[in-house]
Structure 1
Amino acid sequence: MRGRSHDPNFHYSRRTSDQEVNVAIGNHRVHIPSSALKMSQGHESDVRLVVTVINSTFFEQGPKPTEAAVKPSFILDTSVLVVKAGTQHVKNLTEPVKLLFKLQNQKLRGVCVFWKDSDVDEEAGNWSADGCNTDYNGTDFICSCNHLSFFAVLVNPAITVDEKNALNLTYISYFGSAFSVFFTLISFILYICLHQRRPEKAHGIHIQLAGAMLCLHLAFLLCSLLLWYHPEIGDGALCKPLGLILHWSLLATFSWMALEGFHLYLLLVRVFNIYVRRYVLKISLFGWGFPTLVVAVCGIADIYGKYTLNITGASNQNSPGQICWIRNHMPHSLIANYVTSVAYPCLVILYNGTMLGMVVCQLWRLRRADYGLEGSGSWKMLHKERLSRLWKDSVTVLGLSCVLGLPWALAGLTYITYISTEGIYVFTIFNALQGFLLFLWCLAVRSKSKSEINSSVRDQSSQKMIDTSL
């Protein structure tokens, strides 16, 4: 210890048990409460404290993860922070030990873990997140743990949640998808009735989108519930076609969302010159043909099977973090997953977001023109009319956001940035309600169609055309 007294990565001191300790080790910071020193004191008059940094290569992973263990990608900067005090084992602290790990690459996500020895092999173990909470302030990982041990930040590109939150998110997804199936089915029937009453291209596209979304929610419930209650399916041949159907449904949903954005572009930019022979049939070749081509190639590559999420604290193999999807832990499966399930939806969302921006600008120009022409009536009536139009325009924008799939943009945050557990809850709730939001949009379209049929005066201005199209 004398030889390492000037080592910046090593700290040794003797402390009294009634004081808090703050130690800086390299890029790391450690705060130890006095309660931890009191618990570790034993019969000694003071407490010997050691804080140091060692390389993660000294830790040998066991052949199988222990209970509540986390499957690692790699340890942040290969650094393990050791915090040891006194002679007694310190655990179940009411006031946690706080450790700060400096983050060099702010695009990484991580979870705080400690080294848990294996019950089978004394020389091996695994990283576990039990008793540790992870916070992120934009530049640093802040770990709050209720014990003293060997600590590190496990960097993993997959989404990592604990078992309690995973169960909550699973129940939200299941009930929300069942909710969406009911309302999407009603929307599908209503759109068919609208299309029979007034054959319009927009109604035909809405029918296709509702059908694709209905397939998506049904496939999700089928693939996840079957694997949850019958985990042996994941190792059998049935999981492959189920994963293919779910993948096809997701691609079809995004394809029709992209076509909704394309049709909106025609209405906004070309306006009058939008006649295309067999228009719906031609775009259907892309809406249904592109997903079919992609899943055919993926099926030949044999990438479908059981997908497992990283869930900290999972107590058994029958966990909610499994689904029939694109298999993980395979290089070509990972590439296919990111290209078809991340890159393609991001392009669709970016395109549709641009279309929505054009709608907002067009509505803004129309309203400004209206306000310039309105010179009669009292100020109170004029203000009330403006508020009414503002409310209708806001509902229009929100409804279009749902139809164009923009709430899915929240999913991109789970891949490209750090996202908190609360953010995952927001994404899950938004997408669990997409069938209900589509139903509300269908009611708005139906109400608009009725008002146009009953109206005896047909306004052919650009404003009327935009309102009708939306």
Structure 2
Amino acid sequence: MNVKPSEEAEGNVTPDVRVQIPSSALQKIKGASALEEVMVVASVLNSTYFESPTETQNNTTPSVLGWRVLSVKGGTDPIKNLIEPIKLTFRSEENVTNGLCVFWKEPENLSGKGSWSTDGCQTKFNGEEFICSSSHMSFFAVLVNPEMSVGESHNTNLRYITYVGSALSVIFAVISFFIYMYLRRRGRSEKAIGIHMQLTAALLFLHLSFLLSGSWFHVVEDQDDGWACRGLGLILHWSLLATLTWLALEGFHLYLLLVRVFNISVERYLLKLSIVGWGFPTLAAMACGISGVYGKYILELKDKENPESKSSICWMSSEFKHRQVIGYLTVAFLCLVVLYNTCMLTLVVFKLYLIRSGNMGLKNSNQWRNVKKEKGLDLWKKCAAVLILSCVLGLPWGLASTTYISLSGVYVFTILNSLQG
């Protein structure tokens, strides 16, 4: 486009991409002071031109928003160190959790490879558009972390892994539940067994509801967002919240059992825990259900060979306006539970270390023998049990952050958490 150097250049490159160039940037184009108009070239390119063959084959290339790269050039010389930045707007129609404005940094020598860089770029996101500010002209894009950014083949693999893992979790959760019932009938009515039974029930509901929600659109011809799918979405969300709540209560009980061992008497202990463990998820799910958040959720798979590839699950409806807000609150609750249980596990390990070193303030050897007898396990076995218990406390859920880093992180998170039951 031809513009006057004394005026701001602004226009839509595509319906989803817009560029704004201040007059101070136009005046830095070579010969602009002697010309009435200068030419600025803004065009959209496919991001595949900015990938090396090695990166593409290994599937490690960052995800570029809409596969779009915006090229902004003025004159023959590089335009950089701008006083007023140029602004680039990328409209997002994807379900993204975050994004970063970058430009393509050319290699320093012919044998090197170019790479995406954030130097001189700033990012703002208003929920619908990424607004990039840059102090130079170059090739620009937005690197994003979609909620599902794997191809169709990987999605199929992950779906099989999840279904098999969840099915195994259902089987073993049922077996575990009957074992706990047998132990209670044999006279072992420890509070820990009651808590384990509640967590096992929550995990059983979670995996069953996931299997039903994930397979609903594969076995039912009616693809509409009906009441059955909304109900499955509600049950899935409720069971997830219940599982997270009971994971937190497991951490709380572990703290009382091994840290506050001399002051654990609480009247109607299991009843109070059950009110919290089942009451909070029920209230939260009912509130979300009244708002109408549950329904058909569409996963758009970023597959270059099949850009229209999609998958559906009964969860939080993609059509619901404030779905992301409820999703962020659920993720925040997950993070709090993982952080809390990590702190509880750290306290327990530290306490066991003090016991091992004989530095916990016991007055005589008789008290030491009483503590060992009350615990019933050797201290080293307890340490091993506590480390194994980290899985029961749901610490593998903390690996959710790795799903935004690499594809291998998605596989590790899927395998560990689908087998949690």
Per the normalisation by structure 1, the TM-score is 0.58
RMSD (CA atoms):
4.1
1:355 equivalent in structure 2:
344
Counting only pairs closer than 5 Å after superposition, residues 33-52 of structure 1 correspond to structure 2 as 52=71
Q: 1:81 to 1:300 in 2, by over 3 A?
A: farther
The one-letter code of the counterpart of 2:181 is I
Counting only pairs closer than 5 Å after superposition, residues 54-69 of structure 1 correspond to structure 2 as none
Counting only pairs closer than 5 Å after superposition, residues 249-328 of structure 1 correspond to structure 2 as 249-313=239-303, 315=306, 319=310, 321-328=311-318
Shift of 1:338: 1.0
Q: 1:252 to 1:6 in 2, by over 3 A?
A: farther
1:167 equivalent in structure 2:
156
Contact 1:208 1:256 in 2 (8 A): yes
2:195 equivalent in structure 1:
205
CA distance in 2, matches of 1:187, 1:426: 24
Contact 1:248 1:291 in 2 (8 A): yes
Unaligned 5+ residue runs, structure 1? 12-28, 34-50, 83-96, 109-149, 371-387, 436-470
The one-letter code of the counterpart of 1:282 is K
Residue 369 of structure 1 aligns to a residue whose secondary structure is coil
Q: 1:58 to 1:429 in 2, by over 3 A?
A: closer
Q: 1:272 to 1:166 in 2, by over 3 A?
A: same
Q: 1:72 to 1:286 in 2, by over 3 A?
A: closer
2:416 equivalent in structure 1:
430
1:221 equivalent in structure 2:
211
CA distance in 2, matches of 1:182, 1:32: 45
Residue 277 of structure 1 aligns to a residue whose secondary structure is coil
Report % sequence identity: 48
Q: 1:75 to 1:289 in 2, by over 3 A?
A: closer
1:103 equivalent in structure 2:
118
Contact 1:56 1:79 in 2 (8 A): no
CA distance in 1, matches of 2:334, 2:347: 20
Q: 1:327 to 1:433 in 2, by over 3 A?
A: same
Shift of 1:421: 0.5
2:165 equivalent in structure 1:
176
Contact 2:162 2:414 in 1 (8 A): yes
Residue 322 of structure 2 aligns to a residue whose secondary structure is helix
* 1:344 pairs with 2:333: yes
Contact 1:346 1:412 in 2 (8 A): no
Shift of 1:300: 0.6
Shift of 1:166: 1.2
CA distance in 2, matches of 1:81, 1:232: 49
Shift of 1:307: 1.6
The one-letter code of the counterpart of 2:255 is Y
Q: 1:162 to 1:56 in 2, by over 3 A?
A: farther
CA distance in 1, matches of 2:233, 2:419: 23
Aligned residues: 316
Residues 70-97 of structure 1 deviation map (CA, whole Å, 9 limit, x = unaligned): 7789985486999xxxxxxxxxxxxxx9
* 1:53 pairs with 2:72: yes
Residues 325-374 of structure 1 deviation map (CA, whole Å, 9 limit, x = unaligned): 112364421111110x201111111111111011111222222239xxxx
CA distance in 2, matches of 1:329, 1:72: 15
* 1:235 pairs with 2:225: yes
Contact 2:148 2:302 in 1 (8 A): no
CA distance in 2, matches of 1:107, 1:391: 52
Shift of 1:237: 2.5
Q: 1:258 to 1:52 in 2, by over 3 A?
A: closer
Contact 2:214 2:314 in 1 (8 A): yes
Q: 1:10 to 1:164 in 2, by over 3 A?
A: farther
Shift of 1:274: 1.6
The one-letter code of the counterpart of 1:53 is V
Shift of 1:409: 0.6
Residue 296 of structure 2 aligns to a residue whose secondary structure is strand
CA distance in 1, matches of 2:98, 2:264: 54
The one-letter code of the counterpart of 1:251 is L
Contact 1:349 1:409 in 2 (8 A): yes
Contact 1:234 1:305 in 2 (8 A): no
Select the residue among 389, 400, 410 that pairs with 2:399: 410
Per the normalisation by structure 2, the TM-score is 0.64
Residues 410-462 of structure 1 deviation map (CA, whole Å, 9 limit, x = unaligned): 11444xxx411111111111112212xxxxxxxxxxxxxxxxxxxxxxxxxxx
CA distance in 1, matches of 2:382, 2:96: 48
CA distance in 2, matches of 1:323, 1:391: 45
Shift of 1:217: 0.3
